[in-house]
Structure 1
Amino acid sequence: MDKIIVPVDFSSASSWGFYYAYNIAKEIGAELVVVHLYWPPYVETTYPANMIQSIITKKEDELLKHLKAATQAPLGETGTVKIRYVIEPGSEQSIVDVAAQNKADLIVMGTHGSGKALDKVWGSNTANVIHNATCPVLAIPAGSTYEGIESIAYATDFDPEDTELLYQLTLIAVAIKGQVHCVHINLADGPFEDKKEAAFRASFEKNFSDLPVTYSVWSANEVEEGLDTFCRINKISILAMLTHKKNIWEKVFGAKSMTKNMSMQTKLPLLAFHK
């Protein structure tokens, strides 16, 4: 992992995201690209082009000054992380574009809630980036302090397609000296396909036997209850899921169970992968 994108909009939520991203970049030696998006200043259309450009340049210079002040290294640290700044007009889609243009390996975003189900947990901007980015997105809830990433839980149905994602996830874990816990939540009133689990493990271990992965099957009345218990007992640092796994996402983030779910999702960083 060589390049990490972190959007900063001067909110407290983005500050949490920055310091989490900073520590990951420091630990693995990655470049940190700090992105700030802004609304273009209003200018009269009759202004000459050089005057318009001068106004925009002045605004971006002021923003860069504030951005550098807001993204200083933790007290006592100097020159430990290479930071580059990108300031341009745009919206959350621009974050996705900047990540693609810079061939980013990861986007880290601080989160804050708003209206709809997924938005209530992560905020509408983060939810949009999660669904549109082509690289993994790590959503950091407010108050999440970085204490190293020793354990990553991956929620799986043991589908064959998950082996490629698990491989990508373990490469991240190796880079940060962590371990991946592959967990399946089996509903108490439902059957468990042990042959499916065995085939999944055999397929992965055949190709990637040297990677740090453990496998667990937990029984629970609800998926979110099982994940919550598993993450607490195993002191999980990050929960990872595929964005197109609608059955898992709806069970964990669905509106019907939103109240009881808030305790887990607002405390645990979420790493969202695309297929």
Structure 2
Amino acid sequence: MNKILCPVDFSSASLNAIEYALEIAKKFNSRLSFLHVFTEKDFNKALGQEAKGKTFKELLALANSKLKLLVNSIVEETEGQIKCDFHIEMGDLIDKIKEVAYDENYDLVVMGTTGVSRVQGIFFGSNTEDTIDEVRKPILCVPNSANFKHFKKIVYASDFLEEDKMAIQEVISFATMFDARIYVLHINLSDSEKAYDKFVEELKSFIQYNKITFVNKSYKDDVGSGINEYMQQENADLLVAFKRKRNIVESMFSKSITEVLSYSTDKPLLVLKL
């Protein structure tokens, strides 16, 4: 994981995500880049009184100054060990994230989100959902209420997909850097034990990681609440899911990411794209 892109709009959610991006960058010795897609309206909203009465040119200069301060603080905090830079772009947020992520070959996008509405089943900040759907890069979604401690316990939501075998290898690569335990979780609503046992044996045959636990959890209600219950039970630090191309999320038991996230607004979600 050589390069990490972290979109920043100066909201508390995006600033909170920076802490996660930085901790990952430290472990992987990655270059960390901030991306600010400037619009006068959003910048005024984020900064409030600080931006009041300024011209467009002055606001753009202020955004540039704030990003320089962020970069300098990272360089100072890490004593120059983490290379850090920033981009300012104008245009559509999702298009610019996609453009920068692809053109400069970033390995991970780290985004802050304000959470998910249980009633509507959508992100309050729909930019995160759109980014998950449009950008073919792994995306770490960090809720505003999440507090970084450490990635000691990682839950991977599995649905007996062939792609799970590749995705779990990615999870292992990530977990190794944090010496984390992985829980491969399947929420069993009606599946046979025989099918589950066969899948687990296939996975075990090529996995070379000792700190991994397979969990087949029976649950009567919907999958999202089952995953959340298990996350809380284990006090897990990170949920990982796999997103198949051109689908909302056919893994994670044919439930959408937003349905699952609607039950847990204080744990980050890593969405893998293979």
The alignment's TM-score, normalised by the length of structure 1, stands at: 0.80
The alignment status of 1:141 with 2:143, answered yes or no, reads: yes
Query: Alignment partner of 1:265: what SS?
Result: coil
1:40 shift after superposition: 8.3
- Residues 10-159 of structure 1: pairs in structure 2 closer than 5 A: 10-39=10-39, 61-70=61-70, 72-73=73-74, 78-90=79-91, 91-113=93-115, 117-120=121-124, 123-159=125-161
Match of 2:50 in 1: none
Question: Which string of whole-angstrom CA distances, capped at 9 and with x for unpartnered residues, describes residues 142-179 of structure 1?
Answer: 12121111111111112222111111121111123222
Match of 2:46 in 1: none
Distance 1:251 1:130, change over 3 A: closer
Code of the residue aligned with 2:265 in structure 1: it is: T
Match of 2:270 in 1: 271
Distance 1:30 1:176, change over 3 A: farther
Query: Alignment partner of 1:118: what SS?
Result: coil
Distance 1:113 1:226, change over 3 A: closer
Question: Which string of whole-angstrom CA distances, capped at 9 and with x for unpartnered residues, describes residues 215-273 of structure 1?
Answer: 0011122212321221112121111112243464637744xxx9xx74x4211111112
1:99 shift after superposition: 1.1
Code of the residue aligned with 1:118 in structure 2: it is: I
Question: Which string of whole-angstrom CA distances, capped at 9 and with x for unpartnered residues, describes residues 89-138 of structure 1?
Answer: 12222112211122111111011258752324xx2111011111212101
Give the unaligned 5+ runs of structure 2: 42-54
Match of 1:45 in 2: none
The alignment status of 1:250 with 2:255, answered yes or no, reads: yes
1:21 shift after superposition: 0.8
Distance 1:108 1:249, change over 3 A: farther
Code of the residue aligned with 2:22 in structure 1: it is: Y
Q: Distance in 2 between matches of 1:183 and 1:252?
A: 16
Q: Distance in 2 between matches of 1:206 and 1:64?
A: 51
Match of 2:192 in 1: 193
RMSD: 2.9
Asked which structure has the greater CA Rg, the reply is: 1
**Cα contact 2:182–2:211 (8 A) shared by 1:** yes
Structure 1 vs Structure 2: percent identity of aligned residues? 26
Match of 1:8 in 2: 8
1:57 shift after superposition: 9.1
Q: Distance in 2 between matches of 1:134 and 1:250?
A: 19
Q: Distance in 2 between matches of 1:251 and 1:108?
A: 20
Q: Distance in 1 between matches of 2:148 and 2:213?
A: 23
Distance 1:74 1:82, change over 3 A: closer
- Residues 220-259 of structure 1: pairs in structure 2 closer than 5 A: 220-222=219-221, 223-244=223-244, 245-246=249-250, 248=253, 250=255, 253-254=258-259
Match of 2:170 in 1: 168
Distance 1:163 1:211, change over 3 A: farther
The alignment status of 1:202 with 2:217, answered yes or no, reads: no
